[in-house]
Amino acid sequence: MIDDHVTRHVARLARLELTESETVQMQHELSAILEYVQQVQELDLATVPPTTHAIPLENVVREDVPTPSVPVELALREAPEVHGDGFAVPRMG
């Protein structure tokens, strides 16, 4: 169903590091799953609209009124690495 190239491409899109053996296994497992789920393609659905929300609602919005933000210490509390009052990011290359 999907080859090594596609597997690696998708892993890159999803930002997942896979070892060589994981890549091989992933390719096999994904192929098997895709073969199964492909049955959705048997149906002729040209005239059927898609469902994105099972319980349809519209126009659920909020008013433009400020609510309190969190203190900066709390915002940064769980960050693996902080620099000053900012979240540290590795070299961007």
Partner 1 sequence: MSSDAWEAVIGIEIHAQLLTRTKMFCGCALSFGDPPNTHTCPVCLAHPGALPVVNREAIRLAIVAGHALGCEIAERSVFARKNYFYPDLPKAYQISQYDQPICGPGCFRFLTEDGEKTLGITRAHLEEDAAKLLHLGGEGRRANAEGSVVDFNRGGTPLLEIVTEPELHNGPDAASFLKQLRQTLVHLGITDGNMEQGSMRADANISVRPVGATGLGTKTELKNMNSFTYLERGIAAEVDRQIAILEAGGTITQQTLHYEPSTGHITSLRSKEEAHDYRYFPEPDLEPVVPDRAWVEELRAALPELPIDRRERWIREYGLTFEDAEVLSEPVQLGDYFEQVAALAPPKSTANWVRGELRALLRDRGQEPWESRVSPAALAEIITLVESREISMPSAKAVLGHVVEHGGLPREVVAALGLGAIQDEPALVAIVEQLLADNPVQAQQMREGKDKLIGFFVGQAMKATQGRADPARISELVRERAGAG
Partner 2 sequence: MALTDLTAEQSITAIAAGRTSSEDLVRAHLERVEHDDWNNFLAVNREAALARAREIDAMPQRPPLAGVPIAIKDALSTRDLTTTAGSRILEGFRPIYTATCVARLEAAGAVVIGKTNMDEFAMGSSCENSAYGPSLNPWDTTRVPGGSSGGSASAVAARQAPWSLGSDTGGSIRQPAALCGIVGVKPTYGAVSRYGLIAFASSLDQVGPFARTVRDAALLLQSMVGRDPMDTTSLDWPDPIVLPTAGRLDGVRVGVIEELMGEGIEPGVRAACRAALRRVESLGGTVVPIELPHASYGLATYYLIAPAECSANLARFDGIRYGRRAEATDDLLEHYERTRGEGFGPEVKRRIMLGTFALSSGYYDAYYGQAQRVRTLIVRDFAAAFAEVDVLASPTSPTVAFRLGERTADPLSMYLSDVCTIPVSLAGLPSLSIPCGLSDGLPVGLQLAGPAFSENRLFDVAHALEAAIGFDPSPPGVTA
Q: Please tell me whether residue 5 binds partner 1 under the rule CB under 8 A.
A: no
Q: Quick one: which segment of 24-32, 33-41, 58-66 binds partner 1 (CB under 8 A)?
A: 58-66
Q: Please tell me whether residue 15 binds partner 2 under the rule CB under 8 A.
A: yes
Q: Please tell me whether residue 5 binds partner 2 under the rule CB under 8 A.
A: no
What span, in angstroms and rounded, lies between the C-alpha atoms of 25 and 15?
A: 17
What span, in angstroms and rounded, lies between the C-alpha atoms of 10 and 4?
A: 10
* All residues at 6 or more sequence positions from 32 whose CB lies less than 8 Å from its CB, including other chains: 1
Instruction: Say how far residue 67 (Cα) sits from the centre of its chain.
Output: 28
User: Which residue type, as a one-letter code, is found at position 73?
Assistant: E
Q: How far is the CB of 19 from partner 2 (least distance, A)?
A: 8
Give me the residues that bind partner 2 (CB under 8 A), please.
2, 6-7, 10-18, 22, 26, 29-30, 32-34, 36-41, 43, 45, 48-55, 57, 60-62, 70, 74-75, 77-81, 87-93
